[in-house]
């Protein structure tokens, strides 16, 4: 089984140096790419059927194609690597950045070349101090080796690249909010259109791609579209996916597997099954803002088509497991408290609806719930449904709640009838 993104990441947690990266073929994809035209690179990425790994799954090549190109376009253009990774339960980009920062940088240079961007940013979450140090160091190495700066490898193409470490807000993961943060503003989302591809950072054409997405690019260029498609199990998208598991499983962790690997294989083979004394009750398949899946869904292929058919989303592909001794109401409270705190406060349904939701759930946990609270919670899931709020934060926050109300309704009712949390 091929693991292009993680095959060279060392088990001891130390970083792959530039020399080591070059020895295993690093930057050869860049050399190849610079001999092609930007349009050829874009065409290859389009044909590879790579889809964004940040959560939304938008086709990467198509996203790039909306950037104005040609001689008379606005400059400078920007490319930003989104390494904010603040989706609770998600820890995949950390591995890629800490383990092999040059893979990310190479992917960013090739991607920048494809859209003819001349400035790149790595946007990293504040908590990733080790990753930040390693990216800083790797950027210096790349400049010294001629992979960054003026006239890269004699091609005539110029690119500068900087690191920005965030100061902590979940909103920064949303691409337009991230751009506001990079401009030194509050990370409120922006209206779309105009889309960042046309008017992004400082009003210039900008592409924001997730770290894992960008790490795929050198491998697509080096090994070709056919290879990329055949390492996936999914008919709808190419490549591998970094899947993870947290919660009461025997061996929580992160694994690079073919896109479309089943939830059962991830949890039972790679995560080692449930810890002794605990039973599987459900899971959020792709981070905090995805709907619960239950035992009935264990055989779902974890890809962009099959997870929605089971009523959830692939999201970030990092699974949060709920065991039989964990209270679903308490879990929803932990989730909604997070979303309420991290709401940017810009639009009313989210700013008011999320704290209200968290308050009702707290009342249930404290034994003060009433039967009509279930109707109120259901109402919130409609009130903050997609289309009713400015961005995807609140609709995402409603996904675990709406599915918990469906699958674990008896737990909500029991909390109310017995005036207590029945798990304590």
Partner 1 sequence: MAEEKIISEEAYREIEEMFHHVPKKSATCIEALKVVQKYHRWVSDERLKELAKFLEMTPHELDSIATFYNMIFRRPVGRHTIHVCNSVSCWIMGYEAISGYLKKKLAIDYGQTTPDDRFTLLPIPCLGACDHAPTMIIDEDLYRDLTVEKIDGILENYK
Footprint on this chain of partner 1 (rule: CB under 8 A)? 85-91, 93-94, 119, 125-130, 160, 162, 164-170, 181-187, 202, 244-248, 252-254, 284, 288, 318, 320-323, 326, 330-331, 334-335, 337-338, 341-342, 344
Residue 281 exposed, middle or buried by CB count within 10 Å (0-12, 13-18, 19+): buried
Bridge partners (DSSP) of residue 318 are: 244
Structural contact between residues 88 and 129, judged by C-beta atoms closer than 8 angstroms: no
> What is the CB neighbour count within 10 angstroms for residue 99?
21
> Of 168 and 235, which CB lies nearer to partner 1 in the complex structure?
168
DSSP assignment letter at 267:
I
CB of residue 106 vs partner 1: minimum separation in angstroms?
21
CB 360 within 8 A of CB 376: yes
Spatial CA neighbour of 20 closest among 110, 105, 103, 132: 103
Give the shortest CB-74-to-partner 1 separation in angstroms: 13
Q: Which is nearer to partner 1, 80 or 231 (CB)?
A: 80
- The smaller minimum CB distance to partner 1, of residues 51 and 270, is found at 270
Query: In DSSP terms, which residues pair with 412 in a beta bridge?
Result: none
Closest to partner 1 by CB, 18 or 171: 171
The sheet with strand 160-165 has its strands ordered as 160-165, 119-124, 78-83, 206-210
Taking the complex as a whole, the smallest distance from the CB of residue 179 to partner 1 amounts, in Å, to 11
Tell me the closest approach of the beta carbon of residue 215 to partner 1, in angstroms: 16
Shortest distance in whole angstroms from residue 290 CB to partner 1: 12
Beta-strand relationship, 240-246 and 253-258: antiparallel
Minimal distance, residue 371 CB to partner 1, in Å: 26
Identify which of residues 166 and 262 has a Cβ nearer to partner 1 in the complex. 166
- In terms of CB distance, is 87 or 411 closer to partner 1? 87
Residue 241, SS3 per DSSP: strand
């Amino acid at each position: 089984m091929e693991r292009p993104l993680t095959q060279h990441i060392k088990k001891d947690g130390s970083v792959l140096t530039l020399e080591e990266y070059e020895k295993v073929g690093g930057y050869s994809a860049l050399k190849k790419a610079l001999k092609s035209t930007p349009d050829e690179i874009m065409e290859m990425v389009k044909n590879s059927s790579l889809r964004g790994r940040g959560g939304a799954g938008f086709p990467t090549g198509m996203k790039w194609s909306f950037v104005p190109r040609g001689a008379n376009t606005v400059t400078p253009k920007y490319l930003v690597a989104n390494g904010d990774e603040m989706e609770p339960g998600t820890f995949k980009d950390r591995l890629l950045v800490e383990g092999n920062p040059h893979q990310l940088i190479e992917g960013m240079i090739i991607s920048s070349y494809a859209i003819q961007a001349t400035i790149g940013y790595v946007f990293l979450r504040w908590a990733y101090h080790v990753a930040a140090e390693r990216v800083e160091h790797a950027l210096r190495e790349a400049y010294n080796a001629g992979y960054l700066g003026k006239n890269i490898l004699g091609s005539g193409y110029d690119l500068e690249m900087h690191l920005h470490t965030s100061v902590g807000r979940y909103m920064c993961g949303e691409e337009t909010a991230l751009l506001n943060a990079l401009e030194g503003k509050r990370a409120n989302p922006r209206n779309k259109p105009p889309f960042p591809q046309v008017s992004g950072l400082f009003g210039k054409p900008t592409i924001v791609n997730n770290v894992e997405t960008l790490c795929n690019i050198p491998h697509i260029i080096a090994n070709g579209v056919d290879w990329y498609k055949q390492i996936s199990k999914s008919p709808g998208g190419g490549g591998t996916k970094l899947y993870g598991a947290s919660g009461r499983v025997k061996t929580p962790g992160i694994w690079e597997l073919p896109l479309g690997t089943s939830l059962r294989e991830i949890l039972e083979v790679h995560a080692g099954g449930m810890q002794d004394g605990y039973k599987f009750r459900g899971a959020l398949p792709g981070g905090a803002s995805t709907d619960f899946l239950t035992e009935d869904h264990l055989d779902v292929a974890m890809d962009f088509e099959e997870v929605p058919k089971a009523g959830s989303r692939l999201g970030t592909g990092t699974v949060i497991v709920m065991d039989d001794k964990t209270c679903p109401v308490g879990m929803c409270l932990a989730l909604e408290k997070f979303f309420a705190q991290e709401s940017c406060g810009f639009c009313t349904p989210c700013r008011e609806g999320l704290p209200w939701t968290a308050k009702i759930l707290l009342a249930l946990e404290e034994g003060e719930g009433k039967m009509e609270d279930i109707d109120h919670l259901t109402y919130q899931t409609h009130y903050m449904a997609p289309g009713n709020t400015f961005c995807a934060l609140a609709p995402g926050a409603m996904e675990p709640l709406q599915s918990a109300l469906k699958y674990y309704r008896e737990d909500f009712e029991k909390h109310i009838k017995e005036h207590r949390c029945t798990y304590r």
